Amino acid sequence: MAERSFQKEVQTLRLGAGEVFEGEGILAVTKALLQSGVAYVGGYPGAPISHLMDVFTEADGLLQELGVKFEANASEAGAAAMLSASVNYPLRGAVAWKSVVGTNVASDALSNIASAGVLGGALVIVGEDYGEGSSIVQERTQAFAMKSQMWLLDPRTNLTTIVDAVENGFRLSEASRTPVMLQLRIRACHMTGRFVARDNTRPKLTTADAAGDPQRDTSRIVLPPALFTHELEKVRDRWPAALEFIASSRLNEHFGPGEGRVGLIVQGGLFNALNRALELEGLSDCQGASALPILCLNVTYPLVPDELVAFCSNKRSVLIIEEGQPEFTEHELNTILNRHGLTTRVCGKDFLPRAGEYTTQVIRSGLRGFLDKWHPELGITAPASQAAPDPALASTVPPRPPGFCTGCPERPVFTAMKLLERELGPSHVSADIGCHLFSTLAPFNIGTTTSGYGLGTASAAAFSSGSRRPIAVMGDGGFWHNGLTSGIGNAVFNKDDTVTVVIDNGYAAATGGQDNLSSKAILADRATGKSIEKAARGVGVDWAHTIERTYDVGRMKDIIRAALTGAEKGPKLIVAQSECMLNKQRRESPRLAAAAKAGKRTVRDRFGVDPDTCTGDHSCIRISGCPSLTIKPNPDPLREDPVAHVNHECVGCGLCGEASHAAVLCPSFYRARIVTNPHRLERWLVSLRQFLVARIQAWARARRALRAY
Amino acid sequence: MLTQWIARLGSQNGYRAQATSVPGVAQRTGATVYYVEMMPWAASEPEPILSLMPTAGDVDVVLASELMEAGRAMIRNLVSADRTTLISSTHRIYAISEKIARGNGIANGDTVMSAAQQRAKRFIRFDMAETSHRAGCAISAVMFGALAGSGALPFPRAAYIEAIRSEGKASAANLAGFEAGFRESQDLGGAHASAPQDPMTPTTEAGRALTTRILAELPSSTFRMAVEGVRRLLDYQDYAYASLYLDRLVELHGVDSERGGWRLTREAARYLALWMAYDDTIRVADLKIRDTRMKRVRNEVGAGNGQLVNVTEFMHPRFREFCDTLPRRMGGRLLHSRWAKRLLGRFFAKGRFIETTGLIGFAVLAFLASLRRWRPSTLRYAEEQARILAWLKLVKTAARDNPDAAVEIIQCQRLIKGYGDTYANGLAAFDRIITAYVGMKDEPDVAPRIRGLREAALGSG
């Protein structure tokens, strides 16, 4: 079950011609695919396109009606490989993933398909996770587009433009026999907007039809001598065809006057920010009526030399607004102008920062610097150095890093590792991609490196014959994505003496809680419930244990200790299994609430801290970090340090109690088991008990009153 | 939810509204910015070009669901004095860095409050978490109500309620939360009176006798703290023990000077009481079984009238604590005997679950609590008193040479807290600082150095 349900939104995918679609960018893209007659879709989830995968999943019914094949691919490499369906058949296909990391994983297949070329339109929708809030390496997808020669669309962030880009992407792909990447920035994916819909179209040829009539063409196989021909085809046929299509379809747009002393060239995805920067300088309005000529590149690769030459002619200088580095476009523009003998000065990273997100603020500063130098007649001056933010404020406001959710079953694994670290000393810990990577932050501070999804075990390989066994952490998502082969299989083959802890919460939780092979959910269209331990044993791991309740910190600690200190050599696997609490609560809370409302007996646990026995040392927090385990001012007039406090978000996972037992912490924690609608006998017994207890308490109170102040 | 309501509010009232967000890992407790832009627009007009991110000096309203979020918005320059209405909840969700400090790591909210007053055109604030808790709704409903109440957007109140309705979220709780938010945003008074402190009125003969002594033998600036100390020790042990506390305090007062405002006595009133009321098994059991505690638990977990609450304690008594509670000689001998440790140790290897609401659990704790009157004969008592006396002796000597250092040493008691290993670590840190002090006591900057060591030990390292 995914984090967000799109049941309601999926209905908008059925809109017909002329109706107005209103909704999120990611949903608009899905609608555009259906309007374009796509024959197959796939991908791998990850922000910001996780929801696209969720929408595909929930729209599976509609996809089947239209004869569209949907595959929840095992990895981006798998998704990219699926595009080979468009190599020999006129099938339109689209796959989606998070970039740049997903593109890294997919690059093997992408290189090969780009080399062979495609017959049907092949579209890769890359959710560009760059800039604020990003969780991945900051690199440009454009490098992949360029090296493999795939075209890169970066449409203006406006739903109509984005929807058109999908359709045009397929056409461009078919016209130039080249796969096309459609880049969507994170905010564009989640932007709300509207466009006028068209009817959904059934694919002319379905994948089922194609499978029934197999076609073969050896010239499309990446083997010598065809592969040399492919390279030639790329530059001789496909490239010119693409330029011709882009120019004739006017995929790039012009704003403002045709002529001017200076011009602005902007990536489509940054156009809105540029326009706002111009507005703030009084040089444009909300309709994009710019006072300066703008060339908006909705296609950022390839560049159309004629378009650029025409735009740059008779201008003193142009400013290219290109986010990220290296500044490929700026370099190529210089080459193009040089070859055409133009002396127009190309500016870019000399006025704009080389690294980091191009916010409106950043573009505005760069623009002012550029205009000050190259168009002083406008009277706009370069900005003075940024006013320093209030230092008192900056030093007061604490950072708010991401962390494990309330009741997360992964937390106790790291509590156990933290306690064990105190006992055995620190081990080298290779972390992995997933929620569990939060272990590297406070309060656990466990984990040394992270080198890719499912690569935790592989990353520990170099340390596998040292005096102290390294620990690798991997999620269930990472295990199935890549970890089983590159990590576990590799460790078995090389007889690596490593310990792998697979944190199996039943979902690809970090990407939004999608199901995977080992998920517990029983699904009609997918096979789930496959055992991670069995899979590992299948590739040859002999020492493997599954812990079915990670909250048992004592047990968790014992098993990791055994793996670290046991005499047996070779790879060891611990599967720490407990369901993702977010997903569990989403399912269980409404069910419990309904049962309680219906008068059924329900039991709910909650934890608490007694403020009068808590001494405010916060050891408990340093081995937990649960959001619901927090602090509050000490009610005791003598004590100064805040006491620990469990707030009402507590889901009663039990870690607080287990940790205070395992770490011999403090007797302040209590578990309150709250029984709603108790049985009559139960109620009667409790009142009898309470009667007796109340007597003793009253007596004790009276005695205390005698010696009170 | 709030973003959707705001966008809906615009689109239902002749505006083109665009919302964006950066979710992802940020939603798991990280800071997230949701951004809405809207402008008057008719469907016949071309689509306006709206921005996907806020720009400094270009923001009309900032809504912060927690006080430090308001601080972050100001650090990002999103709040400008000529334009921005800042609507913030005043409650705190403490960041991990604030929570993991061994001492008090809480960031100063006043810095943010005063910055907001200076930097915002208008600053509307109240405790929205409290308001939403009372209304039983999500905080978004209260924030939406506060937005309506602020009048910062050109829409009537009814339009807001209509927006909630059309998003299908018009539950009674959300509407109540909206109303409460609307109402409270109008009231700029803000500061509620703080709770009155416990009165200095004794209720027993013992209390009166001790109060007389406090008034006669101690300076007035220490009264309140000394009364709290006496109150604690009476509850902890008895009249004799509270008298011992006053004896010790008065003795310290003898080496204190008025020039420093009797600072040493004032600080000692607090820390001496805390050390003398060290947390032992007897004390914990005593506090756990009180009727006031049971009421507090029910209240804290939000149990209603028809619900039963069973309370389980997580205790991990070790062999050490067992010996601590025995008579001094016996406890000492047992603690250092190998065979006893081997024989009895296994009973203390595991943590215990004690159900205080059950009869057996209650009886066990009641028995432990009843050992109070024998406390002075226990091993732990003897050890703690020896430590206290050594500490006081050091302080008295220091007070003559370097009064500032004496105050710093008194305050080092703050390191000794917790149970089990935590207690042992705290005591070790205390001992380290005392040793360091003895080594450098003739140096001129010894006082600030002790303070530095203590604060480092109370940090989050």
Matching residue, tokens 């943590």: B351
Distance (Å, whole) CA A612 – CA A616:
10
Strands (E), A465-524: 471-475, 499-504
pLDDT digits (tens, 9 = 90+) for B341-396: 888 888 888 888 999 999 999 999 999 999 999 999 999 999 999 999 999 999 99
Residue B340 tokens read as: 């006893």
User: Exposed (0-12), middle (13-18) or buried (19+): which is B72, by Cβ within 10 Å?
Assistant: buried
CB B72 to CB A617 under 8 A? no
Residues of B in contact with A613 (CB under 8 A): 279, 283-284, 287-288
CB B362 to CB A271 under 8 A? no
Residues of A in contact with B33 (CB under 8 A): 132-133
pLDDT at residue B28, rounded to an integer: 44
Contact B248/B395 with Cβ under 8 angstroms?
no
Compute the residue count for chain B: 461
The residues, any chain, with a CB within 8 Å of residue A691's CB and separated by 6 or more, are none
Q: For residue A3, name the pLDDT band (cuts at 50, 70, 90).
A: low
Examine the pLDDT at A150 and tell me if it is beyond 90: yes
Matching residue, tokens 């059934």: A202
CB A689 to CB B357 under 8 A? yes
Distance (Å, whole) CA A309 – CA A286:
28
Q: For residue B211, name the pLDDT band (cuts at 50, 70, 90).
A: very high
Pairs of residues, one from chain A and one from chain B, whose beta carbons lie less than 8 Å apart? 354
Examine the pLDDT at A145 and tell me if it is beyond 90: yes
Distance (Å, whole) CA A179 – CA A103:
13
Spell out the SS3 assignment of A398-425: CCCCCCCCCCCCCHHHHHHHHHHHHHHC
In terms of Cα–Cα distance, which of B7, B221, B110, B12 is closest to A392? B110
Residues of A in contact with B422 (CB under 8 A): 617, 619, 665-666
Give the residue-averaged pLDDT of A587-602.
93
In terms of Cα–Cα distance, which of B256, B238, B264, B219 is closest to B375? B238
pLDDT at residue B170, rounded to an integer: 72
Distance (Å, whole) CA B156 – CA B451:
57
Residue A655 tokens read as: 């870690």
The residues, any chain, with a CB within 8 Å of residue A498's CB and separated by 6 or more, are A457, A460, A461, A463, A464, A469, A470, A471, A472, A491, A571, A572
Residue B189 tokens read as: 């008074």
pLDDT at residue B25, rounded to an integer: 46
pLDDT digits (tens, 9 = 90+) for A27-64: 999 999 999 999 999 999 988 888 888 888 888 889 99
Using the Cβ of A612 and the Cβ atoms of chain B, whether some distance falls under 8 Å is answered with: yes
What is the CA angle B301-B305-B306, rounded to 5?
105
How many CB atoms sit inside 10 A of residue A211's CB? 11
pLDDT at residue A666, rounded to an integer: 86
Examine the pLDDT at B190 and tell me if it is beyond 60: no
Instruction: Please give the share of chain A, as a percent, with pLDDT higher than 90.
Output: 85
- Counting other chains too, the contacts that A383-391 makes at CB distance below 8 Å and 24 or more residues apart are A387/B77, A389/B74, A389/B75, A389/B77, A390/B74, A390/B75, A390/B115
CB A709 to CB B51 under 8 A? no
Residue type, A515: D
Distance (Å, whole) CA B233 – CA B229:
6
Residue A393: which of B39, B56, B115 has the nearest Cβ? B115
Residues of B in contact with A672 (CB under 8 A): 297, 300-301, 303, 309-311
CB A608 to CB B300 under 8 A? yes
Residue A162 tokens read as: 């984005």
Between A92-106, A273-287, B200-214, B240-254, the lowest mean confidence (pLDDT) is in B200-214
Using the Cβ of A706 and the Cβ atoms of chain B, whether some distance falls under 8 Å is answered with: yes
Contact A660/A675 with Cβ under 8 angstroms?
no
Pairing between β-strand A20-24 and β-strand A192-196 as defined by DSSP bridges: antiparallel
Distance (Å, whole) CA A332 – CA A265:
13
SS3 content of chain A, % helix, strand, coil (to 5): 40, 15, 40
Distance (Å, whole) CA A311 – CA A295:
7
Distance to chain B for A270, nearest Cα, Å: 10
Examine the pLDDT at A518 and tell me if it is beyond 50: yes
CB-facing half-sphere around the CA of A93: CA atoms within 13 A: 30
In terms of Cα–Cα distance, which of B310, B317, B370 is closest to B348? B317
Residues of A in contact with B7 (CB under 8 A): 192
pLDDT digits (tens, 9 = 90+) for A380-414: 998 876 666 678 899 999 988 888 999 999 999 99
Spell out the SS3 assignment of B149-180: HHCCCCCCHHHHHHHHHHCCCCCHHHHHHHHH
How many CB atoms sit inside 10 A of residue B461's CB? 8
Distance (Å, whole) CA A243 – CA A542:
57
Residue A265 tokens read as: 């060239």
Distance to chain A for B18, nearest Cα, Å: 5
Residues of B in contact with A385 (CB under 8 A): none
Distance (Å, whole) CA A67 – CA A89:
16
DSSP A14: G
Contact A25/A161 with Cβ under 8 angstroms?
no
User: Exposed (0-12), middle (13-18) or buried (19+): which is A433, by Cβ within 10 Å?
Assistant: buried
pLDDT at residue A513, rounded to an integer: 82
Residue B44 tokens read as: 């016949």
Residue A71 tokens read as: 């595959």
pLDDT at residue A514, rounded to an integer: 87
What is the CA angle B73-B79-B85, rounded to 5?
110
Examine the pLDDT at A133 and tell me if it is beyond 80: no
CB A638 to CB B270 under 8 A? yes
Mean residue pLDDT of chain B comes to 91
Distance to chain A for B328, nearest Cα, Å: 24
Angle between helices A680-707 and B223-236 (to 10 degrees): 120
Q: Which of the residues B308, B312, B458 would you substitute to probe the A interface, choosing the one with the greatest number of A C-beta atoms within 10 Å?
A: B308
Between A272-286, B23-37, B71-85, the lowest mean confidence (pLDDT) is in B23-37
CB A705 to CB B204 under 8 A? yes
Give the residue-averaged pLDDT of A494-509.
93
Instruction: Please give the share of chain B, as a percent, with pLDDT higher than 70.
Output: 95
Give helix then strand counts, H and E, for chain B: 22, 7
Distance (Å, whole) CA A74 – CA A482:
9
Residues of B in contact with A130 (CB under 8 A): none
Distance to chain A for B179, nearest Cα, Å: 23
Biggest CA-to-CA distance, chain A:
102
pLDDT at residue B191, rounded to an integer: 46
If phi > 0 it is left, if psi is from -120 to 50 it is alpha, else beta; for residue B29 that is left
CB A442 to CB B96 under 8 A? yes
Q: Where are the alpha helices (DSSP H) in A579-677?
A: 581-597, 619-622, 655-662
Residue B15 tokens read as: 């505006």
Examine the pLDDT at A459 and tell me if it is beyond 80: yes
Using the Cβ of A624 and the Cβ atoms of chain B, whether some distance falls under 8 Å is answered with: no
CB A640 to CB B414 under 8 A? yes
pLDDT digits (tens, 9 = 90+) for A164-176: 999 999 999 999 9
Q: For residue B27, name the pLDDT band (cuts at 50, 70, 90).
A: very low
- Give the nearest chain A residue to B94 (CA atoms): A630
Distance (Å, whole) CA B177 – CA B126:
13
DSSP, collapsed to helix, strand or coil, labels residue A387 as coil
DSSP, collapsed to helix, strand or coil, labels residue A502 as strand
Distance to chain B for A164, nearest Cα, Å: 15
Cα B297 to the center of its chain, rounded Å: 17
Residue type, A217: D
Examine the pLDDT at B209 and tell me if it is beyond 90: yes
Spell out the SS3 assignment of B205-233: HHHHHHHHHHHHHCCHHHHHHHHHHHHHH
Instruction: Find the distance separating the first CA and the last CA of chain B, reported in whole Å.
Output: 38
